[in-house]
Amino acid sequence: MALGGILLMLNIPAAAAQPTPFLYIETIQAVPGGPLQMDFRDEGTGATGYVVEYSGVLGDQVAWTVDSGAVITSLGGGEYRIEVADPVEPNGFYRVVALTSSGPVVAQFAGTGLQVTEGGTAEALVRFSSPFTGLLTYRVEGPARGYSGPLSGSVVVNNSLTAAISFQIADNLSADELSFLTLIIDAGSSLRAGADSQALITIRDNDAVWDGGFVSEGLDFSFRYRRTSSGASEQAALISNGDGVIPAGEYPAQLSTPSQPFPASVPISLPSDASALGIATTMLLILEAEPAGGGVVVSDDEVQGTATLITTYPDRPHLSSSRPGRFILRRPPPAPSTVEVELVNNP
């Protein structure tokens, strides 16, 4: 039920639910800019307590926060009143959680499969069976190493049903393959690891060697194109095996904007003994890919765009030419790797 941007939800954990008992909303009273008051009735859930939580959005992976300012008063006969003196957000959502568990709090991940790109931050949401206060400790296993300190950590939790574990994956300029890490919740005297206490983190490298090709009227050739990224800096190079017009070798690309992979220009200078005509030759391959239609494709695994091959013969300028065409780059499917993943340990 929405009222003035506030939604009240009554939530009963599955393990505590019975065939018929429910929590029922009876009244909601709200004054714009003032307190929020809600009455509800418990018809036999067996709850030993309740907690009020809020969130600015809804979703399966949302981290709900306990509203420590909310007051729940028993009115007798299974009737309860919630008073929120000052709503946390002008537009948000509230829910009431019925607590039935006893003994150690159970902690487990909301999702056990996470994906992150190299250089990004891996974040896993942990849910508790009842409000928890204390240290949530964790460790990382797999082919990983940290810049400093051990590959473990802790999160301070204060009377909450959720907590987030996050750590940053370091960025490098080497083209590695797909890597995996396992994030594990450690149990303690007041915290027990649940069934989903391990999460698999898949790390996709933002550096790769792409298979590429140039096609124009009367000329086509293949090449490989290495793209590496570190922070906001991009680097690239064309790699030729010598089967086409470009001799075998690696040729660094010049990027118009350091933070963007395209447009890119690849200058290639050939001495006379390496040129097909036996004269000094300069080639410039220009690759442009702007995602604005016209057959241009820019995705994580494929890039298509326009290309121009400019060939210059300083000693024979009348032979110089400019050949328009198209290029395509495809990123090969990643394979599992045992390469160590570097983690940045934040204090």
Joined together, the tokens standing for residue 198 give: 């391990």
Identify whether residues 136 and 226 lie together within a single domain.
no
Domain boundary among 99, 117, 140: 99
* pLDDT band (50, 70, 90) for residue 308: very high
pTM: 0.51
4 has pLDDT over 50: no
CB of 11 closer than 8 Å to CB of 97? yes
**Which DSSP string do the residues of 40-59 spell out, in sequence order?**
EEE-S---SEEEEEEESS-S
pLDDT tens, position by position, 256-277: 887 777 889 999 988 877 776 7
The size of the chain, in residues, is 347
Identify whether residues 243 and 308 lie together within a single domain.
yes
The region of weakest confidence among 17-21, 149-153, 270-274 is: 17-21
- Bigger pLDDT: 59 vs 5: 59
- Structural domain including 111 reads 105-206
Identify whether residues 47 and 88 lie together within a single domain.
yes
- Residue 260 domain flag: yes
- Residue 335 domain flag: no
94 has pLDDT over 60: yes
161 has pLDDT over 80: yes
According to the model, what pLDDT value does residue 15 have? Answer: 40
Residue matched to tokens 């300029």: 173
- Residue 341 domain flag: no
* pLDDT band (50, 70, 90) for residue 8: very low
H or E stretch including 23?
strand 23-30
What is the CATH number for 325? Answer: 2.40.128
The region of weakest confidence among 82-96, 142-156, 208-222 is: 142-156
Q: Is 115 helix (H, G, I), strand (E, B) or coil?
A: strand
* pLDDT band (50, 70, 90) for residue 79: confident
- Residue 143 domain flag: yes
Proportion of the chain above pLDDT 90, given as a percent: 14
* pLDDT band (50, 70, 90) for residue 133: confident
Identify whether residues 303 and 240 lie together within a single domain.
yes
Quote helix, strand, coil % in the chain, to nearest 5. Answer: 5, 60, 40
108 has pLDDT over 60: yes
What is the CATH number for 18? Answer: 2.60.40
Task: From 92, 94, 28, select the one nearest 66 (Cα to Cα).
Answer: 94
196-204: average pLDDT:
85
What is the CATH number for 181? Answer: 2.60.40.2030
Domain boundary among 162, 185, 206: 206
Joined together, the tokens standing for residue 113 give: 């499969």
- Residue 189 domain flag: yes
Identify whether residues 93 and 58 lie together within a single domain.
yes
CA 111 to chain centre: 14
* pLDDT band (50, 70, 90) for residue 147: very low
The region of weakest confidence among 45-54, 132-141, 144-153, 237-246 is: 144-153
H or E stretch including 210?
strand 208-216
The region of weakest confidence among 21-25, 35-39, 50-54, 287-291 is: 21-25
Distances (CA, A) of 21 to 18, 24, 53, 80: 6, 10, 21, 15
- Bigger pLDDT: 55 vs 159: 55
* pLDDT band (50, 70, 90) for residue 7: very low
193-220: average pLDDT:
86
Identify whether residues 316 and 239 lie together within a single domain.
yes
Please report, as a single letter, which amino acid is at residue 240.
S
- Residue 339 domain flag: no
Identify whether residues 228 and 326 lie together within a single domain.
yes
- Residue 13 domain flag: yes
* pLDDT band (50, 70, 90) for residue 149: very low
According to the model, what pLDDT value does residue 47 have? Answer: 66
Task: From 243, 234, 235, 251, select the one nearest 213 (Cα to Cα).
Answer: 243
| Count of domains forming the chain | 3
According to the model, what pLDDT value does residue 6 have? Answer: 44
CB of 39 closer than 8 Å to CB of 75? yes
Residue matched to tokens 């996470």: 114
Domain boundary among 99, 131, 146: 99
305 has pLDDT over 70: yes
- Residue 345 domain flag: no
Q: How far apart are CA 138 and CA 55, in angstroms?
A: 25
Identify whether residues 299 and 219 lie together within a single domain.
yes
The region of weakest confidence among 91-95, 124-128, 239-243, 282-286 is: 91-95
Identify whether residues 218 and 324 lie together within a single domain.
yes
Identify whether residues 317 and 233 lie together within a single domain.
yes
Beta strand residue intervals within 246-299, DSSP E: 249-252, 254-255, 264-270, 281-288, 297-298
Tell me whether residue 146 is exposed, middle or buried, using C-beta atoms within 10 angstroms of its C-beta: 0 to 12, 13 to 18, 19 or more. Answer: middle
Identify whether residues 159 and 196 lie together within a single domain.
yes
- Bigger pLDDT: 116 vs 150: 116
36-51: average pLDDT:
76
Average pLDDT, the chain: 77
The region of weakest confidence among 60-74, 170-184, 253-267 is: 170-184
Identify whether residues 313 and 215 lie together within a single domain.
yes
